Amino acid sequence: MRRKLAKAQTSRRCVLLVWAFAICAGLSALGQTNPCEPIRDVKRFVPVWNDATIGPGSRDRSCWLRMLTPDARITGVVMGKDGKSTRTVESPKEFLAWYEARPNEMFWERTLHSSVEVYENVARVTRTYEVRASATGPVLSTGIEDFQLIRVGDSDGGEWKAFAMLWQDATPGKPLPRRYLPVAH
Amino acid sequence: MKRTLILLAVLAALSTFQSSAQTPATEVCPSSATLDELVKALDQAVSGPVDKDRSCLRELLMTDARLVPVSKAANGSYVPHPLTIDGWIDRVKKRGGMLYEVQTKVKSEVYGHIAHLWSTYEIRETPDGKATVRGINSIQAMNDGKRWRIFQVFWQAETPEELVPEKYLP
ipTM higher than the 0.85 cut = no
Q: Determine contact: A146 vs chain B, CB below 8 A.
A: yes
Q: Tell if the CB–CB gap between A163 and B168 is shorter than 8 Å.
A: no
CATH number of A3-180: 3.10.450.50
State how far residue A15 is from chain B, nearest Cα, in angstroms: 32
Structural domain including B59 reads 35-168
B143 lies in some domain: yes
In terms of CA atoms, which chain B residue is nearest residue A84? B145
B47 lies in some domain: yes
B81 lies in some domain: yes
In terms of CA atoms, which chain B residue is nearest residue A158? B77
Query: Which CATH number belongs to the domain containing residue B112 in this structure?
Result: 3.10.450.50
Q: Tell if the CB–CB gap between A120 and B82 is shorter than 8 Å.
A: no
| Domains of chain B: total | 1
Contacts with A28 (C-beta within 8 Å, 6 or more apart), sequence order: A35, A51
Q: Tell if the CB–CB gap between B116 and A151 is shorter than 8 Å.
A: no
**Where in chain A are the domains?**
3-180
Which residues of chain A from 108 to 127 reach within 8 Å of chain B, CB to CB?
A: 115, 117, 119-124, 126
B150 lies in some domain: yes
Instruction: Give CA–CA dist A128/A168, Å, rounded.
Output: 10
C-alpha R_g of chain A: 16
Of A77, A148, A170, the CB nearest to B138: A148
Q: What are phi and psi of A76, to 5 degrees?
A: -110, 145
B83 lies in some domain: yes
Q: Is the per-residue pLDDT at A32 higher than 70?
A: no
Find out whether A53 and A146 touch, Cβ atoms under 8 Å. no
B119 lies in some domain: yes
Mean pLDDT of chain B, nearest integer:
89
pLDDT in tens, A131-171: 998 888 999 999 999 999 999 987 677 899 999 999 999 99
Q: Collapsing DSSP states into helix, strand and coil, what is residue A50? A: helix
State how far residue A101 is from chain B, nearest Cα, in angstroms: 27
Higher-confidence residue of A134 and B70: namely: B70
Find out whether A24 and A108 touch, Cβ atoms under 8 Å. yes
CA distances from B77 to A152, A157, A161 (A): 6, 10, 13
